[in-house]
Structure 1
Amino acid sequence: MTHPPRAGFGIMTAPMQVGYHDVLRVWREADAIPEIEHAWLFDHLMPIGGDPSGPTYEGWTLLSALAAQTRRLRLGLLVTSNRFRPPAMLAKIAATVDIVSGGRLDLGIGAGSRPGHPLARREYDAHGLPFHDSAHAVGSLAEACTVIRRLWTEEEPFDVHGTYVQLTGAFCNPKPVQRPHPPILIGGRSAPTLRVAAEHADLWNIPGGDIDDAIARSALLDRYCTEIGRDPASITRSIHLPVSYDRPGATRDAIGEAIDADFRHLVLGLPAPYPADVVRWVADELISTSPRL
């Protein structure tokens, strides 16, 4: 009898409304707890919750610092906004972080914030970044994934004359540590994003929400994989689940539902402020007690 892959757990610490040393404390603790296999930040330039003028750290800069302060955890951004950085620049940043981490990066990437999210939208205006429509966002995401993979794997400079990406003499040196390249995690739930995931993703993450919706979106991803001749099982299914410190039973139930729905990469979102020994609590109260493991 073939058993499904074992579920693996990680944490997510949204780097807003917290201090650097608070995040560092949690990641160092997680790095020493084997039940936690991966850790994530998000990619926003301004808060999307709480005090709108509160602190928010730039995700890739903070990720590189945390990569240098940890030894075991796989790490990434859940997920990078493809709207923020040109893909060739992102490939260079990510290669650097993979080297700093000793080959522990998962590249999380998505189309970027929904146009209807006002707290997310304002960060584009505040930083002078263009905010194109959804079709542009998804189309440019597909081109970005192709360009980033080529930069990580090709040994000679190349040009790109795409619809959204124009490059002359593109080249990335040094390459990432991981071969052939760091895994690519694509996050999102829209049908157009799932089509991009079917073509490019090693992992697909859905940002929580209703489990029935997650199951339906996963089935749609299966369909898109089949249409292009890809084995749907080659894409690991990932889900972000918010943690409740006050109602751990509800979080355990959500974990069980996700595992029953064949999500094998579970990211547990930790709300700030972080209690002392929060990661040990997660391991003992949420992971070790799960009846599905």
Structure 2
Amino acid sequence: MTAPMQVGYADILRVWQEADAVPEIEHAWLFDHLLPIAGDMNGPILEGWALLSALAAQTGRLRLGLMVTSNRFRPPAVLAKIATTVDIVAGGRLDFGIGAGSRPGLPMARREYEAHGLPYADFGDSVANLAEACAVIRRLWTADAPFDFEGAHVRLTGAFGNPKPVQRPYPPIVIGGRSDATLRVVAEYADLWNIPGGDIGDAVDRSARLDRYCADIGRDPAEIGRSIFLPVSYERPDSTRSAIDEALAAGFGHIVLGLPAPYPDGVARWVADQFVPAAVQVPATTGAADGAFS
């Protein structure tokens, strides 16, 4: 992951094009904020979906996405159209990441809503909105005729998606979050679930809760991949390596490595050399040997 804040387009493009040539790296990600959430609060930041489309046009192998889109920023039918366009530009390489949006307790993120004239409902309301958005977006990607949708949060008349995404029936849906309410949405709609790293015990507990919510609706929990975000330390790679090993052993088979800016020359190759060999040494009984790196 290359967070598109406090850094320029040319630097991100360099890292993505380098990663595109490193087969051990399977995905590349941006995040979705409109103002910086770290460093200079008035520093530069690029809009995620516009940047993603540009990077999709200049890479050829990597799967790509936003980890994760804020459902608060764009109406879901508009977001479905944007994502379809990116999947077409990418030739079918989009992983569609979405989440409820930042919690009220994160003031650095909340300020971006007020700065852009965006409404900011309470978190419970935003999770309910997320569930309806996932239903609408999936239907826009698959419906053969226009439809109406009358929800508590989303209302559409004559909605129709044309063209469809390259990937059928639709791009993989990645939902990020850790609350119980969000995990219930994950159980119903996600192909991959992502959680920020840090407390691996909490991540394992949340994963077990997701299993239970899947069972409640009759879905096989194995259908949902487990993904975790881990920050990279250039100065202390051993600490990053230990976090990767711990996550893999806990059943998180998709590892998203956050690269701090500025990016050293050759950073994608360095990441693969430093961290992927550690992953393949994890015992096969964990199910993590087949894990993917981003």
The reply to whether TM is greater than 0.5 is: yes
* Matched AA of 1:222: D
Equivalent residues of 2:34, 2:112 under 8 A apart: yes
Matched residues in 2 for 1:248 and 1:93: separation?
A: 37
Structure-2 residue corresponding to 1:221? 210
Matched residues in 1 for 2:241 and 2:101: separation?
A: 30
Give the counterpart of 1:92 among 66, 81, 87.
Answer: 81
Structure-1 residue corresponding to 2:285? none
Let me know the Cα RMSD of the aligned residues: 0.6
Structure-1 residue corresponding to 2:193? 204
Matched residues in 2 for 1:251 and 1:203: separation?
A: 22
1:289, distance to aligned residue in structure 2 (A): 3.6
1:157-207 superposed Cα distances (whole Å, 9 cap, x missing partner): 000110000100001111000001000000000110000000000000001
1:128, distance to aligned residue in structure 2 (A): 0.2
Matched residues in 2 for 1:98 and 1:230: separation?
A: 27
1:57-111 superposed Cα distances (whole Å, 9 cap, x missing partner): 0000000000000000000000000000000000000000000000000100000
1:287, distance to aligned residue in structure 2 (A): 1.1
Matched residues in 2 for 1:209 and 1:254: separation?
A: 8
Report SS of the residue matched to 1:230. Answer: coil
Structure-1 residue corresponding to 2:125? 136
Structure-2 residue corresponding to 1:28? 17
What is the total number of aligned residue pairs between the two structures? 282
Normalising by structure 1, we get a TM-score of 0.95
- Taking the TM superposition and a 5 Å limit, the aligned residue runs for 1:1-293 are 12-290=1-279, 291-292=281-282, 293=289
Matched residues in 2 for 1:283 and 1:109: separation?
A: 27
Give the 4+ runs in structure 1 shifted more than 6 A.
none
Matched residues in 1 for 2:278 and 2:269: separation?
A: 13
Matched residues in 2 for 1:205 and 1:216: separation?
A: 14
Equivalent residues of 2:245, 2:278 under 8 A apart: no
Matched residues in 2 for 1:125 and 1:202: separation?
A: 32
* Matched AA of 2:185: V
Unmatched runs of 5 consecutive residues or more in structure 2: 283-288, 290-294
Matched residues in 2 for 1:106 and 1:66: separation?
A: 14
Matched residues in 2 for 1:124 and 1:267: separation?
A: 26
Equivalent residues of 2:231, 2:258 under 8 A apart: yes
Report SS of the residue matched to 2:26. Answer: strand
Matched residues in 2 for 1:72 and 1:280: separation?
A: 15
1:155, distance to aligned residue in structure 2 (A): 1.0
Report SS of the residue matched to 2:137. Answer: helix
